Amino acid sequence: MALLILATELQATGLRVLFIGDSITDGNWGKGDGKPSAQRPQWDMNHIFGSGYMYLCATHYMGKYPRREYMFFNRGSSGNTLDDLEKRWDTDVLEMQPDVLSVLIGINDVNRYLHGDRKTPFDFDAWEATYRKLLDHARQANPNLKIVLAGPFVAPTGKMSSDAGFAQCNEITRRCDGIVKKIAQDYHALYLPYQEMFDQILKSEPTSQDTYWIWDGVHPTPAGHWLMANMWIKQVDKKKFLK
């Protein structure tokens, strides 16, 4: 069934837009609960995008421009790090033949490091090299590929507000965000400053509950996902990536 659906999708004429990342992108698409893409039911169009910013982006373009026949794909996977993306890059990116590729990754790399032995510092150089290698492979497969790189983010909200390791998590995440920004410049990709966006909204729109935008310091609420989708749509439209 999955192969038949994929074959049909590859014959479509609309632009192919693929989102890949961790749980923030995943949103339990295909009722996957972190399972590999091939093990998720991809025929159920009621759950194909999960719940989150990716879903909101897809519904915006598919509902507003039906004649363009856009095809959106969610390839987020809960708990993934950049190394995990590398392991499935051929199947979940290259074989999907996207015209537009959106990547959001990094927070699990930081958390996995902080909960490991930490005998050596976080290897920013290796992280950047892996990120660039994956984009190189994607561009080699499609020299005209449009790339959207979203910066990782973290906030002192929910359980993170009292986490003793938040300061270090915050520092490493922001450095990774800076690396993503630099990579985006080098690859002429669109960079989305989600860390800056959440920093600003937490200051400008204080609420009685600090979990209003990001409930656990990492995962956005529906309100937070709306902010993310709104930025994605505005910036992608500005660059005319989906025209």
pLDDT in tens, 14-38: 999 999 999 999 999 999 888 899 9
Task: Report the alpha-carbon distance of residue 42 to residue 25 in Å, rounded.
Answer: 16
**Does residue 89 contact residue 134 with C-beta atoms inside 8 Å?**
yes
Q: What is the DSSP letter of 151?
A: P
Rounded-to-integer distance, Cα 169 and Cα 113, Å: 9
Higher pLDDT residue, 199 or 32?
199
| Partners of 111 in beta bridges | none
> When comparing pLDDT for 119 and 170, which is higher?
170
Residue of 168, 35, 190, 192 whose CA lies nearest to 114: 168
pLDDT digits (tens, 9 = 90+) for 31-83: 988 889 999 998 889 999 999 999 999 999 999 999 999 999 999 999 999 99
pLDDT of residue 162: 87
Q: Is 158 left (phi over 0), alpha (psi -120 to 50) or beta?
A: left
| Position 226, amino acid | W
Residue 104's CB is within 10 A of a number of other CB atoms, namely: 25
Q: What pLDDT is attached to residue 146?
A: 98
Q: Alpha helix locations (H) across 95-193?
A: 107-114, 124-141, 166-186
* Closest to 27 in 3D by CA, of 186, 228, 212: 228
The model's pTM is 0.93
Which whole number is the average pLDDT over 106-111? 97
What pLDDT sits at residue 103?
A: 99
pLDDT band at 1 (very low <50, low <70, confident <90, very high): very low
